[in-house]
């Protein structure tokens, strides 16, 4: 029997196509890469745990509170926490909100589609009517600006949706670290498989959102809508945060005549996979907040790894950003594998051909990314 082989790819990133077809990852395998990726994902998992808890708390307990002064406190307000908050001795939950707003703005997936349906709009009307039945001021505001409160509820839905997504990812990353500590994880391929298995296990996990108003429950996103983890939160998150992102104030002109921002959202390349690590130390750049959070939870072995470099802690945030991008290319490998039209290890020529076109499409998006730098 003659096996028909695919022609070599002419793509500039053909090397990475072959890697994926052979069951390898976008990030090359090495002991240092494994140490970096697992260590940064352990810290990131702890941060995502905190982010997800806060987002879900806001969605459920700060619902339609127009001035939520204590939304970052998770219901535990004290003078000491206020002092810590004002002195920035805390987790930067602002970054979680930045991601939430980016997802909401870019849209995509079943969550975005549902929030524009007549069913959602009708549910929102009933909720607003019940929530503010004795509040003449808010009811008047709703009549004058009929889209204001519904838009707040759409935003609350994204708080909840992203919180539920990060809850799953935090557990995946923390369990990866536990397996590494038990010496069960020794290669990048094993890291990718662990993440991939976690995505598959939770792919159909329901995404629902329910609030309690005056001791009465209201389903804003009922389970019957059928929203699930992978297509309705994971894929839009990858598109919005890994790839598109949003231009950072102070680094790019928002003046339309300057033409520094693409006119089409799908041409944005401000996501985590494109970010220049050197700019991560700039004040006001949202990823800086994440890197500062990660810095506080680095496992000792990763901290010592950074200490052994020439600059030690002088460029710690840059090192963290570089390592974080390495870890995200591992996550991307898992996502690409699970979203492929056919199994990447298929032996059927037609299926291989379809997969090759699929992988070349992904490589087109990686051309301007930090993929090559991550593998240096």
What pLDDT score was predicted for residue 323? 93
Region at 210 (left for phi over 0; alpha for psi -120 to 50; beta for the rest): beta
Alpha carbon separation from 366 to 16, 26, 73, 330, 373 (Å, rounded): 10, 10, 38, 13, 12
Q: Which two tokens stand for residue 12?
A: 């500039």
What is the value of pTM for the model shown?
A: 0.92
Tally Cβ neighbours within 10 Å of residue 275.
Answer: 22
Which pLDDT value is given to residue 283?
61
Distance of CA 301 to the CA centre of its chain: 25
Give a three-class secondary structure readout of the chain. CCCCCCCCCCCCCHHHHHHHHCCCCCCCCCHHHHHHHHHHHHHHHHHHHHHHHHHHHHHHHCCCCCCCCCHHHCCCCCHHHHHHHHCCCCCCHHHHHHHHHHHHHHCCHHHHHHCCCHHHHHHHHHHHHHHCCCCHHHHHHHHHCCCHHHHHHHHHHHHHHHHHHHHHHHHHHHHHHHHHHCCCCCCHHHHHHHHHHHHHHHCCCECCEEEEECCEEEEEECHHHCCEHHHHHHHHHHHHHHHHCCCCCCCCCCCHHHCCCCCCHHHCCCCCCCCCHHHHHCCCCHHHHHHHHHHCCCCHHHHHHHHCCCCCCCCHHHHHHHHHHHHHHHHHHHHHHHHCCCCCCCCCHHHHHHHHHHHHHHHHHHCCCCHHHHCC
In this structure, the strands spanning 216-221 and 209-213 are antiparallel
pLDDT at 281: 65
Task: Compute mean pLDDT per 10 residues along the chain, 376 residues long, and list them.
Answer: 70 92 93 95 96 96 90 89 86 92 92 94 92 91 93 96 97 96 95 95 95 91 94 94 85 84 86 78 74 92 88 81 93 94 89 93 92 89
* Euclidean distance between the first and the last CA atom of the chain, given in angstroms as a whole number: 41
Q: Give the pLDDT of residue 365.
A: 92
Measured distance CA(246)–CA(93) in Å, rounded: 18
């Amino acid at each position: 029997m003659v096996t028909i082989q695919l022609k070599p790819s002419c793509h500039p990133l053909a090397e990475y196509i072959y890697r994926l077809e052979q069951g390898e990852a976008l990030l090359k395998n090495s002991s240092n890469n494994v140490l970096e990726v697992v260590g940064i994902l352990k810290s990131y998992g702890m941060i995502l745990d905190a982010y997800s808890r806060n987002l879900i708390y806001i969605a459920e307990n700060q619902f339609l509170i127009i001035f939520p002064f204590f939304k970052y406190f998770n219901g535990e307000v004290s003078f000491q926490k206020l002092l810590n908050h004002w002195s920035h001795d805390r987790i930067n939950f602002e970054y979680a909100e930045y991601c939430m707003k980016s997802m909401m703005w870019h849209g995509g997936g079943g969550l975005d589609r549902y929030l524009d349906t007549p069913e959602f709009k009708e549910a929102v009307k009933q909720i607003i009517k019940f929530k503010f039945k004795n509040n003449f001021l808010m009811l008047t505001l709703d009549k004058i600006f009929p889209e204001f409160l519904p838009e707040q509820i759409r935003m609350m839905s994204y708080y909840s949706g992203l919180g539920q997504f990060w809850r799953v990812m935090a557990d995946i990353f923390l369990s990866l670290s536990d397996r590494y500590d038990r010496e069960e994880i020794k290669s990048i391929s094993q890291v990718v498989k662990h993440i991939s298995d976690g995505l598959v296990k939770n792919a159909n996990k329901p995404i629902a959102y329910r609030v309690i108003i005056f001791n009465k429950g209201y389903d804003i996103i009922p389970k019957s809508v059928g929203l699930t983890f992978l297509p309705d939160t994971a894929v839009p998150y990858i598109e919005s945060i890994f790839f598109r992102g949003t231009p950072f104030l102070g680094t790019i002109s928002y003046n339309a005549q300057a033409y520094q921002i693409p006119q089409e959202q799908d041409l944005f390349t401000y996501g985590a996979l494109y970010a220049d690590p050197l700019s991560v130390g700039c004040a006001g750049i949202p990823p800086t907040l994440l890197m500062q959070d990660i810095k506080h939870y680095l496992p000792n072995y990763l901290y010592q790894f950074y200490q052994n470099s020439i600059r030690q802690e002088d460029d710690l945030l840059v090192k963290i950003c570089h390592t974080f991008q390495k870890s995200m290319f591992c996550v991307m490998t898992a996502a690409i594998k699970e979203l492929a039209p056919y199994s990447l290890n298929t032996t059927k020529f037609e299926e291989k051909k379809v997969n090759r076109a699929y992988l070349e499409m992904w490589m087109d998006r990686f051309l301007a990314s930090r993929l090559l730098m991550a593998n240096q």
